[in-house]
Amino acid sequence: MILTDSLKKLLIETASQLKGAAKRKFMAQTVQGLGLGGQRLAQSELGWNRDTIRKGTRELKSGITCIDNMSAKGRYKAEEHLPNLLENIKNIVDSQSQTDPSFKSQRLYSRLSAAEVRKQLIEKFGYSDENLHTSETIRIKLNNLGYNLRRVKKVQPQKKFPQTDAIFEQLDIVNKDASEDKSVLRLSMDGKARVKIGSFDRGGKSRDGAKADDHDYNPKTTVTPYGIFLPEFDELFLYFTESKVTSDFIVDILEDFWLQEKHRFSDIQTLLINQDNGPQNSSRRTQFMKRIVEFAQKHQVNIRLAYYPPYHSKYNPIERTWAILENHWNGSILDEVETALKFASTMKWKGDHPVVKLVHKTYENGVKLTKKAMAQIEKQIERLTDSTHEVFPNLGNWFIDICCSKTKVI
């Protein structure tokens, strides 16, 4: 075989388009065709590696194909050297990451830079500066975990409450303690905006060519999704109501969840509930506090309420699930309540479908206790008024403990 310029170009291009065993076989057959000194000629004229040629020749003669193990090559990942690294990063960043308020993206936006995360890994988890990987490696791990550290103005809170940083610091402590304590179950609760039921265009895109009304006048009804999310188990429970979302509704769905699932958590003594400090579930909402105290006593489980600071509810883990739901039903027309429920039940969070229920009970706003009755409730709860924060030691509006063994509410 004479290697002309056109033949050399053809052989080189053909080999470059092949991979693995097929490439080695082609190279070996070519060398055989070149005859004596073919390996040296192929190396000098075609630029082929002689070790690869020899390997292909052995495979060709024996009829046995070697299986490449490319995934085992290269350096071990950082988490191979530091088994707890990813979990520790999540513990630091999770409570300070928010979802896109428009629910158009599933990415998370964090308040912390990679350098700051590395610094906190050293301070909080005892890593040494020499053994811990660089900030660039931490940045890659953050991206792989779904966190986006770019500052995006549209997802930054428009206001900042004076106690914001102090509340986030305490949330880090409370949530970390819960993840390490097997007797504590962490719940994240919140609701999505009301959804109009009818033949309305909600701004999504659909491929089925369905026609929708461009005005949302006179909907058949509206439904509000309210979720309970278990961050440790990545489990989602969705409750829909056509009624108003009130304090009684929130505690009722919490009770329904606990009655259905408590058999799985026989060792749980405390429920840690992450919420935003909304008007219906605020720690100063008298009816909510009455109902949550009654819940603790009835089911003999301690309750710890841990609220996110005002204007920062997007950091609550439950908020991340709404992007999945919004993208799932996208441009589909929700002309009936059953349609909305079906879409919710067929969405997937971390590969699993949520538990979906429709609450038929009607709730009314304006239910509240007298000052005297609320004073009795206050005796049965413990507010955090002595935190370690130097400037804001009183965080009693955002962190409340309810012990189930105290005197029953009358």
Is residue 223 within 8 Å of 337, Cβ to Cβ? yes
In the chain, the percentage of residues whose pLDDT exceeds 70 is 86
How confident is the model over 353-398, as pLDDT tens digits?
999 999 999 999 889 999 999 999 999 999 999 988 889 999 999 9
**pTM exceeds 0.95:** no
What is the pLDDT, as a whole number, of residue 71? 67
Average pLDDT, integer, range 261-275: 95
Q: Residue 345 above 90 pLDDT?
A: yes
* Residues 254, 259, 264, 268, CA torsion sign: positive
How confident is the model over 90-140, as pLDDT tens digits?
888 876 666 655 555 555 666 678 888 899 899 888 899 888 989 999 888
Taking phi first (over 0 means left), then psi (-120 to 50 degrees means alpha), and beta for anything else, what does residue 79 get? Answer: alpha
- Reported confidence tier of residue 314, pLDDT bands at 50, 70, 90: confident
Q: Residue 191 above 50 pLDDT?
A: yes
Cα dihedral 203, 209, 214, 215, rounded to 10, equals -90
The token duo for 9 is: 């170009």
